[in-house]
Amino acid sequence: MGAIPDDYLERVYAGVLGKIIDRLGPIHYYVHEKFGLPCVVIDDDISGTFTFVRALEEHGLDISPADVGKTWLNNVIEKRNVFWWGGNGISTEHTAYLNLKKKGIPAPESGSIKVNGLTVAEQIGAQIFIDGFGLIAPGNAGLAARLATAAARVSHDGEAVHAAVLWAAMEAEAFVSKDVDHLLDTGLSFVPSGCAIARLITEIRSWTKQDNDWHKTRQKIDDYHGYHKYSGICHVMPNHGIMIMALLYGGHDFDLAMHIINTSGWDTDCNSGNLGCLVGIMLGLDG
């Protein structure tokens, strides 16, 4: 592991602030200011992020999917913790939890395509819960990718795991680089070159250069990778696509990045949480 940056704690704090800031619509305002709401509200993306990373306290740095699965069982209470308890075969996390607790199926089988099917296994959850593993590995994308793989495979498989690993690696690298293309190249180095996530990123990079307008690029993502292209309630591919788009168009400016990702819709709390955390790390508190 490389040297920890002098401003490491500030950068982690900026990443967490970025993750919990959420907005609505084609907006340039914060909801809590406009409607008199609290700035922080309970959300499954946040609870998962800061629960699953406890695997490192419970099992050490060399964690396996089975270890993280035990952390789920140690910390998660069915229908009481803040997850989407949508039922077996519907909610990916609920399905994995039932596999672990009720059926005795350990991780990574608990989240595998073989056990749960492609539709359940490739939903968005692995990506939305992954920020903690990027935050604890400043400048060490390889470590972040390894930990993210172990954590993601408790509940997910396939492209969902690739998306999570790529994002965690980018977050770790964001402690030492503000070059968005470099961050993407770093993330891509930890996923198979021919996987759907990698191909998606190649397409979006090309579209952003052609379009020079995020609205046009958003429409192309919808046309070619929208929800109508995938089964299930909340597939990772469309949401990952608009996150990459918002990073490319707005990664240099936190407010712009948040405006783009929230205005783009789909799973906005998850997408803005991941993007806000990454851009928060990259730009720091001043950003």
Give per-residue pLDDT as tens, 191-224: 999 999 999 999 999 999 999 999 999 999 999 9
Return the pLDDT at 246. Answer: 97
pTM of the model: 0.86
pLDDT range class, residue 187, cuts 50, 70, 90: very high
Q: Rg of the Cα trace of the chain?
A: 18
- CATH architecture entry for 8-283: Orthogonal Bundle (1.10)
> Given a cut of 90, is residue 185 above it in pLDDT?
yes
At 146-180, the pLDDT tens digits run 999 999 999 999 999 999 999 999 999 999 999 99
> Given a cut of 90, is residue 104 above it in pLDDT?
yes
Give 33: exposed, middle or buried? Use CB within 10 Å, 0-12, 13-18, 19+: exposed
Query: CA 175, CA 179: separation in Å to the nearest integer?
Result: 11
Domain spans of the chain?
8-283
pLDDT range class, residue 55, cuts 50, 70, 90: very high
